[in-house]
Structure 1
Amino acid sequence: MASGVRRRASVGAGLVGALVFVEFVSGFLQGFYTPLASDIARHLQVNDADVNWLEAAQLLVSALVVPALSKLGDLWGHQRLLLWSAVVVAVANWGIAFAPTFPTYLVFWALQGVFTVWLPLEVALIYLRSRGLLDRPSATRRATGVIVAALQAGAIAGALGAGAAAGLFDELWMVLAIPAALSTAVVAVIHWGVEREHEWQAGVLDGTGLALVSVSLLLVTGGLSLVRIVGVGSVWPWLAIVVGLLVLVPFGRHELRADDPLIDLRVLRQPAMWPVQATAMLFGVSVLGAQIPLSTFAQTDPDEYGFGLGLSASQVSPIIGAYVVSLLVGALVFARVSQRFSPRSCLIGAAALVGIGYGILVPFHGTVAQVLAGMMVAGLGSGALVAALPAAAAAAAPENRTGVATGLTNTTKTIGGSFASCVFGVALAAGASGTAASLSGYYTVWLVCSGTAFVAAILLLFVPRLAFADPEPFQEVVP
């Protein structure tokens, strides 16, 4: 071939192998705590609806730190930022294990949200390592699918391990020490298993942009939190939300003037980029905001409240595990299906599956089989989107913006999840009886998750038909 482009069998087995362990632990963290939601609530002496505020705080921290860490990854090195973020997560997990009160638990739980930057940094590492491959977008999707599959496998292990540990140990801190130990091992794996291959780039962190977007996020999510505290009739929550949205105006103007912006709005408004980021935000509503409600619904006693599945923490674990298996399958299948059909078509189909899955739960939620069927359909689409969105953003971004672009998919996803957690917390608390949330609140959760997924599928229709696909190989013409 006259194109002079190198071909390799893989992105790099050593790199992918190390990142597989990192994402396995990331999934373990996400799967481990969910079945223990009610046990943690009882231990901290709060009700089920209050657990959503733990998740909302973590998602807010994630939304605040991911843009900065992704940008620093592009500037200073993705491996370096991956390592230091792992140190922070390890400290947070040990803090969670020994937190004596709800406020201290909330602080460490929120700090743990730094792990959401792992996947964007890893995809950026993979994309840069695949430089020179003719099928670079496909190679990135394949490697990303493998590490996302490891993430889902870790979530399965975490869900099953939580149930087993809850039955094995009498003290909650002993149960929570398990993810803390694993997150400590991640630090060692990144330090010795991920090579530093980075050329220092000129540029600075956009402090003004970071401050403006942080203020906006704090005001909007803080306003949503105030709705539950002071009620929807108070003017203060809505004032905070409006002011937070208005802050985005000077933020946008600043980013367009900045030589090295935190979020390059010119790249963001490209037809191959903005639907992906909008989909990530809408997808965050279900994949991040609906997991705690799923666990608490499954553990609600139907004999006492008239709805729920009446399961214990150990019985919820297999349900969560089956849901995550469907995510794993979706992540692995996406890369292969996108070779037969266009990546754009696969993204649209994945978003539609999420909408169908949560829509099933509205009329059918009376038995374990019904709930499991809806969640597995949603899981297939969710797994594909988790793998596809950062890879699509990397393919659509300039070479020196891969970290920011992949990080932005996590930021927008986290923002969607943070808003959803606040809204779902309000909905579940309305009409709550005792420690159980309300059935109308669960209906709200499922309808919102279904609706946002279908809206995402519609927005993806605006993506150019051949976006994210491999370039056509150069064919040398022989006279």
Structure 2
Amino acid sequence: MAALLRGKSGAITAGLVGYLFFVEFVSGILQGYYIPLIPDLARYLEIDDPDFNWFEAAQLLLSALVVPILAKLGDMVGHKKILLISTVLTAGASWWLVFAADFWSFLAAWALQGFYVVWLPLEVALIFDRGRATGRGASATRRAAGLLVVALEAGAIAGALGGARVFEAFGGNIPLTLSLPAIAVTAAFFVIWFGVPESQPVSGRRLDTIGFTLLTLSLLTITSGLAFLRINGPDAWWVYLVIVVGLALLYPFGRWVLGHPDPAIDLRVLRRPDMWPVQLVAGLFGISVLGAQAPLASFAGTPTEAGYGLGLDASDISTIIGVYLIGMIIGAGLFSATARRVPPRAQLIVATALVALGYLMFLPFHYSALQVIINMAVAGIGSGALVAALPAAAAAAAPLGQTGIATGLTNTTKTIGGSFASAVFAIVVVYVGTQSIVSTAGTYAGYLTVFAICGVSALIGMLLLAFVPKLAFRDPVAVDETAATEAAAEPTPDARA
């Protein structure tokens, strides 16, 4: 961090990144803390374990809806203001969880806690806007984004390791256990308030209410259909109708925003050659980073009597997940360390290639815990780099005043990709191939299909990035230097003669 720009007005300082580092560490705690508590939370709420899927579905749905709106508001009124508002909402929901003792109140609180998903896009937008004037904002933002993802994954590890231990230390008291993440989010609010400077919003902006209403209706319908598909299975014909209706609602949304002077999402910007591949890759990345979590865990826990699977208990499965998270930390750290020396387009291509390699390695190598750990480590390194690289690339490609919405869209498309994959994978592992002799296990062919889809989707993302212009996402200073070097290397007319 110390090497980041210091001492200039509008520069990306080590102090700024340090404050945001703490905020992302808290975000990681929220993502990891509750996972080992799920069985105990289900018993506390007197529900079945599978019913906990409703909480996850509700939070994913809320995140898909609110991120574009909050990101746009950040561009309009200042990213710090919206970061503070989202933190207040997250803190309020976290404290609500402490006192929620029934299914419906816990469901509402859990969903509202999902406001934290907008933190990273807003932070990246804030950092890029602050560093834009230096001419090196793009590379400095990539370095900072890598450090923030390191904090995110370190927090997730700390949360996953600490949740169960805190629960035991408090003698199984659920409200006391849930109070710690609420305290952490409350502390994050004051860190932002006192330590993070405001970005410079562009004046004269206004919120496209109709555009966001149409987009919200479409996303709400699509993600609801995907959630119902995962829960009700492929035989529920009506869920496909819900998804089709949601997709159809994108047409009036597109017609509206193309005719609006300050649209909710500027589709003309999304058509740019340095933007559309980034957003599509984010959606494809969501397939593996969000959608494959449950199939991977269930494959690792499948009894070996089925003829496949690893037969691991919860503790060993958490170790594999920990290796994956450590891989993500390494990947984010490498992305940050090489931000100045490696072209950003090359970083993105290498990261997607590692994700593809990691999941495709599952096809021949899935017979032992060591093989699975190696696969997950490779995929984790690529995933960690992508979590940092995608919003940073979107920020660099966005025009002035649209960094927030551009970075936020990478999160939204990733969430939609993950929701789609989660619904499809839940069906694939049950219906593809021959049913296992272990009635509770998925099919062998289904698991291999999941691994193949994750690997191929990353390969497609890598190919899409080949369409990105060579000098995309780079600092203006670096682009000018490259252009000058190439011009100097060209032979003069006399030399050609």
Q: Same fold (TM over 0.5)?
A: yes
Q: Does the 8 A contact of 2:345 with 2:468 survive in 1?
A: yes
Which structure's CA Rg is the greater one?
A: 2
SS in 2 for 1:399: coil
After the TM superposition, which residues 40-439 of structure 1 pair with which residues of structure 2 at under 5 Å, given as runs? Answer: 40-41=41-42, 43-44=44-45, 49-168=50-169, 169-199=171-201, 201-228=203-230, 231-299=233-301, 302=304, 307-312=309-314, 314-427=315-428, 436=440, 438-439=442-443
Q: Does the 8 A contact of 2:126 with 2:198 survive in 1?
A: no
1:92 and 1:256 mapped to 2: Cα distance? 36
More displaced 10-residue stretch of structure 1: 365-374 or 33-42: 33-42
Give the match for residue 3 of structure 1.
none
Deviation at 1:199, TM superposition (A): 4.3
Alpha-carbon distance change, 343 to 107 in structure 1, aligned in 2, over 3 angstroms = same
Alpha-carbon distance change, 118 to 261 in structure 1, aligned in 2, over 3 angstroms = same
Deviation at 1:8, TM superposition (A): 5.3
Q: Cα deviation per residue 1:187-245 (whole Å; 9 max; x = unaligned)?
A: 11112221234346212211111111111122222223333555434432221111111
Deviation at 1:408, TM superposition (A): 1.1
- The residue type paired with residue 238 of structure 1 is Y
Alpha-carbon distance change, 343 to 96 in structure 1, aligned in 2, over 3 angstroms = same
- The residue type paired with residue 448 of structure 1 is I
1:443 and 1:50 mapped to 2: Cα distance? 26
More displaced 10-residue stretch of structure 1: 254-263 or 52-61: 52-61
Q: Cα deviation per residue 1:11-64 (whole Å; 9 max; x = unaligned)?
A: 112211110100011111112233444444555555565444432321111110
Deviation at 1:353, TM superposition (A): 1.0
More displaced 10-residue stretch of structure 1: 157-166 or 182-191: 157-166
Deviation at 1:324, TM superposition (A): 1.1
SS in 2 for 1:400: coil
Q: Cα deviation per residue 1:80-126 (whole Å; 9 max; x = unaligned)?
A: 10011011111222333443333333222221211111011101111
1:372 and 1:266 mapped to 2: Cα distance? 43
2:366 and 2:39 mapped to 1: Cα distance? 20
- The residue type paired with residue 80 of structure 1 is K
Q: Does the 8 A contact of 2:306 with 2:436 survive in 1?
A: no
Report the TM-score when normalising by structure 2: 0.86
Q: Does the 8 A contact of 2:143 with 2:339 survive in 1?
A: no
Q: Does the 8 A contact of 2:277 with 2:465 survive in 1?
A: yes
- The residue type paired with residue 67 of structure 2 is V
Count how many residue pairs are aligned between Structure 1 and Structure 2.
471
1:41 and 1:304 mapped to 2: Cα distance? 28
Report the TM-score when normalising by structure 1: 0.89
Give the match for residue 3 of structure 2.
none
Q: Does the 8 A contact of 1:48 with 1:437 survive in 2?
A: no
- The residue type paired with residue 258 of structure 1 is H
Give the match for residue 33 of structure 1.
34
More displaced 10-residue stretch of structure 1: 315-324 or 460-469: 315-324
Q: Does the 8 A contact of 1:89 with 1:183 survive in 2?
A: yes
Alpha-carbon distance change, 291 to 40 in structure 1, aligned in 2, over 3 angstroms = farther
Q: Does the 8 A contact of 1:160 with 1:317 survive in 2?
A: no
1:454 paired to 2:456: no
2:23 and 2:29 mapped to 1: Cα distance? 10
Alpha-carbon distance change, 428 to 221 in structure 1, aligned in 2, over 3 angstroms = farther
Unaligned runs of 5+ in 2: 1-5, 485-497
Unaligned runs of 5+ in 1: 1-5
Q: Does the 8 A contact of 1:52 with 1:421 survive in 2?
A: no
Alpha-carbon distance change, 112 to 429 in structure 1, aligned in 2, over 3 angstroms = farther
- The residue type paired with residue 334 of structure 2 is V
Deviation at 1:309, TM superposition (A): 3.5
1:99 and 1:306 mapped to 2: Cα distance? 40
SS in 1 for 2:200: coil
More displaced 10-residue stretch of structure 1: 287-296 or 210-219: 287-296
1:20 and 1:95 mapped to 2: Cα distance? 25
More displaced 10-residue stretch of structure 1: 152-161 or 290-299: 290-299
- The residue type paired with residue 309 of structure 1 is G
Q: Cα deviation per residue 1:287-307 (whole Å; 9 max; x = unaligned)?
A: 122334444544555569973
Q: Does the 8 A contact of 2:301 with 2:309 survive in 1?
A: no
Q: Does the 8 A contact of 1:276 with 1:389 survive in 2?
A: yes
2:402 and 2:176 mapped to 1: Cα distance? 42
Q: Does the 8 A contact of 1:124 with 1:394 survive in 2?
A: yes
- The residue type paired with residue 329 of structure 1 is I
SS in 1 for 2:476: coil
